[in-house]
Amino acid sequence: MALLVQKFGGTSVGTIERIEAVADKVISYKDQGNSMVIVVSAMSGETNRLVELAQQIDPRARGRELDVLLTTGEQVTIALLAMALEKRGYPARSYTGGQVKITTDSAHNKARIKSIDHERITSDLDNGRIVVVAGFQGVDEYDNITTLGRGGSDTTGVALAAALKADECQIFTDVDGVYTTDPRVEPEARRLETITFEEMLEMASLGSKVLQIRAVEFAQKYEVPLRVLSSFGEGEGTLITTEYDADKTMEQALISGIAFNRDEAQLTINGVSDTPGVAYRILGPISEANIEVDMILQNVSADGTTDFTFTVHRNDFDTALASLESTAKELNARVVSGNNRIVKISIVGVGMRSHAGIASRMFEILAKEGINILMISTSEIKISVVVDEKYLELGVRALHEGFELTKLS
């Protein structure tokens, strides 16, 4: 008998029929003797409908009143799911973020959770009730309604699990777990039974968009076991934990998965003087233009000048290039160049920490396929390469096979 926090997203509760199916699924866990807390998003399409209403009044609608508007989306879902549970004879109670209460800071539209008072929920659980909580929302210290930013229901689930010291936080999605890579690119991709938080963070930020990064960070920080499962099918999903079990580590693969990102664009400025403050003068204007930078590379300088490269989302390429050309003039740089036909492929795994040779194995596999590497960047548990976009599928499949990800069970 465990205390489970389960989160169902907008697609999982997108129609009355699906809400009824979620009720059946929740009850199947309840009948096994578990205490159940359910976090739900707005029905799919509802948040967009509300945003469109707001934008008819003010195209730039934001702030306090937008939060008052958007939070009605989840409030509708909690009521309907609680009704569906009650109809099946299972006592249930719904709560908005403010009722729980989930206290956040006052940053409307992108608030962060500060604390959770779980007294009411605990009392309901003690009385055998199923508790249904609106995701994505809270109140600030003055009782103003806030939202955690779009898609923040995962964070609500993890935060509640942490506050309640739940045995597991289960995130139900439209995929049945985390895969070694995207099955649409490599049909041999395999579902992972477990993955570490660090690996998950690298996978998520690199394009395996199963979970929100913030929710994973939150779960890691508070050591909440997180599980990704399918809303519509059966199966155990993928468990995300702090570290692999000792037993499993023995036969653990060196890398867990292959992530990739199709939407990269690279910008390079050559021959800038290698003096303090140059990196700031290059990236400052980019940051001020609200352009997010992914990779940043600067190699050791030879002749007193250096080459500086960074990547941005492909949509931001033109803006970033214009900014960089302007900066280049100020810095008397030699050349500015860019390429928006590139992709990033990364191998991720805690196993590579203690094993030399992973990088060279990666480069060997790519070389055998004739894939030219444009950039290389590494972190403790990840190696990323940038290649021409035409090599994406070939590269991912070759690495998936070369690191024997398919064979592992």
84 near a second copy (CB under 8 A): yes
Applying CB under 8 A, which part among 89-97, 148-156, 250-258, 268-276 lies near a second copy? 89-97
Q: Which stretch binds a second copy (CB under 8 A): 61-69, 102-110, 202-210, 280-288?
A: 61-69
Out of 1, 57, 302, 356, the only residue in the binding site for a second copy (CB under 8 A) is: 57
Instruction: Output 135 or 351, the one with its CB closest to a second copy.
Output: 135
Q: What's the closest the beta carbon of residue 78 comes to a second copy, in angstroms?
A: 6
Nearer to a second copy, 101 or 190 (CB): 101
Residue 83 within binding range of a second copy, rule CB under 8 A: yes
Q: d(Cα 304, Cα 10) in Å, to the nearest integer?
A: 55
From candidates 58, 141, 174, 292, binder to a second copy by CB under 8 A: 58
Sign of CA dihedral 304, 309, 310, 313: positive
Residue type, 305: T
Q: How many CB atoms lie within 10 A of CB 52?
A: 9
Least Å distance, CB 309 to a second copy, is: 43
Distance of alpha carbon 22 from the chain centroid: 23
**What is the DSSP pairing of strand 35-40 with strand 130-134?**
parallel
Residue 193 neighbours by CB distance under 10 Å: 15
Among 34, 47, 94, 306, indicate the residue that binds a second copy (CB under 8 A): 94
18 touches a second copy (CB under 8 A) = no
Question: Binding of a second copy at residue 48 (CB under 8 A)?
Answer: no
- CB under 8 A: which stretch of 24-32, 65-73, 237-245, 363-371 binds a second copy? 65-73
Contact 81, 40 (CB under 8 A): yes
CB of 104 to a second copy, least distance (A): 15
Among 21, 27, 68, 394, binds a second copy (CB under 8 A): 68
Site membership for a second copy, residue 41 (CB under 8 A): no
- 87 or 209: CB nearest a second copy: 87
* Residue among 13, 40, 80, 286 that touches a second copy (CB under 8 A): 80
Cis peptide before 221 (omega within 30 of 0): no
C-alpha 204/C-alpha 200 separation (Å) is 6
Q: Which residues in 99-128 contact a second copy (CB under 8 A)?
A: 99
Convert residues 130-149 into a mask of x (bound to a second copy by CB under 8 A) and - (unbound): -------------xxx----
Q: Tell me which residue of 184, 204, 203, 191 sits closest to 235, measured CA to CA.
A: 191
CA distances from 113 to 71, 145, 241, 320 (A): 15, 12, 22, 33
55 contact partners, CB below 8 Å, separation of at least 6: 61
291 binds a second copy (CB under 8 A): no
Residue whose CB is less far from a second copy, 51 or 394: 51
- Residue 209 CA to residue 50 CA, distance in Å, equals 25
Spacing of C-alpha 209 from chain mean position: 5
Among 65, 193, 393, 401, binds a second copy (CB under 8 A): 65
- Quote the strand ranges of 218-279, DSSP E: 226-230, 238-241, 257-273
Nearest to 43 by CA among 82, 16, 3: 16
Using the rule CB under 8 A, which residue among 41, 47, 71, 266 binds a second copy? 71
- Tell me the CA distances in angstroms from 409 to 191, 192, 250, one per residue in order: 9, 8, 14
CB 197 within 8 A of CB 183: no
Q: Decide if residue 79 touches a second copy (CB under 8 A).
A: yes
Strands 113-116 and 102-104 turn out to be antiparallel
Number of residues interacting with a second copy: please give it, by CB under 8 A: 36
For tokens 């403790």, the residue is 380
Residue 165 in the binding site for a second copy (CB under 8 A): no
Residue 12 sits in the site that holds a second copy (CB under 8 A): no
Of 4, 5, 13, 19, which one interacts with a second copy (CB under 8 A)?
Answer: 19
Cα separation of 114 and 163, whole Å? 11
One residue of 3, 21, 51, 76 binding a second copy per CB under 8 A: 76
Q: Residues in the site for a second copy, rule: CB under 8 A?
A: 16, 19-20, 50, 53-54, 56-58, 61, 64-66, 68-69, 71-72, 75-76, 78-80, 82-84, 86-87, 92-94, 96, 98-99, 143-145
